Amino acid sequence: MKSLLILTGHSKGLGRAILNTYLEKDEFEIIAISRTRLELNKPNLTEISLDFGELDVLENELSNLFPSGDFNEIILINNAGWIGEIKPVGSLQVKSMRTQININLLAPMYLTNAFVAAYKDSKAKKIICNISSGAASKPMEGWGEYCSTKAAIAMFTKVAAKENQDSEFRFFSVAPGIVDTQMQDEIRQADELDFPQIERFKSYKTNGDLSSPEMVATKISYLLEHESEFQDVIQDVRNFDLP
Ligand SMILES: NC(=O)c1ccc[n+]([C@@H]2O[C@H](COP(=O)([O-])OP(=O)(O)OC[C@H]3O[C@@H](n4cnc5c(N)ncnc54)[C@H](OP(=O)(O)O)[C@@H]3O)[C@@H](O)[C@H]2O)c1
C-alpha cells in the first residue's frame, strides 16, 4: 500500500533535504508546496507553487490539496518558514507582520485543520509535524515576529494533540536546531543594532557549529518513522541521537 507525504517549503534548506530523504522511500507519493517549483520530474512528486504570504489562493485550494486513497500512512510536514523582519518592536512594518503570520502561523494552521478534516475517517497512520523553533520558548531581541509565530504554532499543535488523544493522529512540533540554510544567511545579514546576538550567530557558521540540513532531515524522518518512541508533542532534534 502507498504512503503519502505533504511537505511545505520543499524548494531549499531543510525542506529540500526532507524532500530528498522521502524521494528515496519508494512507497511515498509526495505533494510538495513552495513558491518555487524544482521541476525534478520524479513520478512520485507533485509540486504546487503557492505563496503563503498571500493566503487567498491557499484558502481556495485547501480542499484540493489532500487526495483520498487507501494509504498506509499519511504525513503532513509544515516546514515552510520565514525569519521575518529582524527589527525591534516599535520598528516593525505592518505589512511584514501580516506576511510573517501568514507564512509561519496561518498557513500551517489552515493545513493542519484541513488535514484533520480530510483524514479523520482514514484508518491510515496519520502524523502532523509542524516545524517550530527553539525560539518558540526563548525571546530573542529583533525576532518578535518569528518567536511569536513559532510559539503560537507549537501551542496550536499541542491543542490539536490534546483533542485527538484517542485517535490515529499523532502531532509533533519539532525544533530542528540551528541549521545551515538560507535562513541562517539572512540572520547573519541583520543589522547589529536590531539584532544584538548577531556575532554569536556569525560564529556558529565560522566555527562549523551549524547542523547540516541532511542530518536534521534524517532525524525528522527517524522521529516520524518511530513515533511511538516519542511521547511528547514538543520535540527538539538536538535531544536525541540516531541509533
Ligand atoms: N535554519 C535554522 O537554523 C532553523 C532553526 C529553527 C527553525 N527553523 C525552521 O525550519 C524551517 C525551514 O527553514 P530553513 O532554514 O530551511 O529556511 P529556508 O532555507 O529559508 O527555506 C524556507 C522554505 O520555506 C519556503 N517559503 C518561504 N516563504 C514562503 C512563502 N511565502 N510561501 C511558500 N513557501 C515559502 C521556501 O520556498 P520558496 O522560497 O520557494 O517559497 C523554502 O522552501 C522553517 O520553518 C524555519 O522557521 C530553521
- Locate the domains of the chain by residue range: 3-177+212-237
The rounded percent of the chain whose pLDDT value lies above 70 is 100
- Tell which residue, 2, 32, 35, has the closest CA to residue 17: 32
Neighbours of 162 (CB within 10 A): 10
The answer to whether the CB of 236 falls within 8 A of the CB of 174 is: yes
On average, the pLDDT of the chain sits at 97
Q: How far apart are CA 216 and CA 54, in angstroms?
A: 29
pLDDT, position 153: 98
C-alpha cell at 237: 532534534
60 C-alpha to ligand 1 centroid (Å): 23
217 C-alpha to center of ligand 1: Å? 13
Distance of CA 166 to the CA centre of its chain: 24
From 22, 110, 119, 146, the catalytic residue: 146
CA angle 150, 176, 22 (to 5 degrees): 115
The Cα 74–Cα 28 span in angstroms is 9
Tell me if 34 CB under 6 Å of ligand 1. yes
Query: For the chain, percent helix, then strand, then coil, each to nearest 5?
Result: 45, 20, 40
pLDDT band at 50 (very low <50, low <70, confident <90, very high): very high
Given a cut of 90, is residue 143 above it in pLDDT? yes
Q: Which fold has domain 3-177+212-237?
A: Rossmann fold (3.40.50)
